[in-house]
Amino acid sequence: MSRVLVIDDDVHIGDILEELLTREGHAVTRAYSGTEAVLTLGGEKPDLVLLDLMLPGLSGEQVLPKLRGIPVIVLSARADVDSKVDLLLSGAADYVTKPFDSRELMARVAAALRGPASGDAALRFGGICLDAGKRQASVNGAALRLTRTEFAVLRMLMADPKRVVTKSAILERVSVDTPDCTESSLKTHVSNLRKKLRDAGAGDVIEAVWGIGFKLREN
């Protein structure tokens, strides 16, 4: 059973989150201010934190640095790209805009719990190795030069190789690296990434799932 800390001063939203998480089998602890959240962290560490930004006491931005080593999903009504960029670069594992879709949020919770607690951990698939902390990729030990967007796409695919990653999920995440990325330009990014992987000896490992998105496949 995973332990999830919900930090949100909105009682109604907190109740919804607790019900959703409990239904999925998670143990939920709640904090209603940034100060209370920091005090809570003095006890048993949670496996995941859902963090609101507009909090009494310490703000979400002030709490985030104190959560290093714990995956954090930021929940906020702020939808601008700059806010997402700043928080993701500050250590958040994901950013979900309010109001949120319950199924999508639970999928992101599951992905965050499956993924590494630290962004420095390496991901591997076949001969491909990706070091998220150093933003480096290699194939069979040879360095692979990728653009920021190509790296972001490959990281999403390698985080859960058996899962189909939807185009909308990729577009939302790569907007951090390429704010003007569209569905049509995404095809170009993926095509370039596939070619680089093939040329490096990884084979044709990216599979397009028609009408949905992309996934990795074994050669």
* Reduced 3-state DSSP string for 83-104: HHHHHHHCCCCEEEECCCCHHH
Average model confidence (pLDDT) for the chain?
85
Where in the chain are all domains bearing CATH 1.10.10.10? Answer: 122-216
Question: Which tens digit of pLDDT belongs to each residue from 134-189?
Answer: 778 999 889 999 988 888 889 888 887 888 888 887 887 766 556 667 777 888 88
Backbone angles phi, psi at 175, to 5 degrees: -60, -20
Q: Express the helix, strand and coil content of the chain in percent, nearest 5 each.
A: 40, 20, 40
Average pLDDT over residues 36-59: 91
- What is the length of the chain? 219
Q: Is the pLDDT of residue 49 over 70?
A: yes
Q: Is there a contact between 7 and 50 (Cβ–Cβ < 8 Å)?
A: yes
Handedness of CA 95, 97, 101, 102 (dihedral sign): positive
The CATH number of domain 122-216 is 1.20.1260.10: no
Task: List every span in the chain annotated with CATH 3.40.50.2300.
Answer: 3-114
- Assess contact for 2 and 26: CB atoms under 8 A: yes
Q: Distance between CA 53 and CA 39 in Å, rounded?
A: 17
Pick the residue with more confidence: 69 or 82? 69
Q: Which amino acid is at 195?
A: K
Q: What is the CATH topology of the domain spanning 3-114?
A: Rossmann fold (3.40.50)
The answer to pTM > 0.85 is no
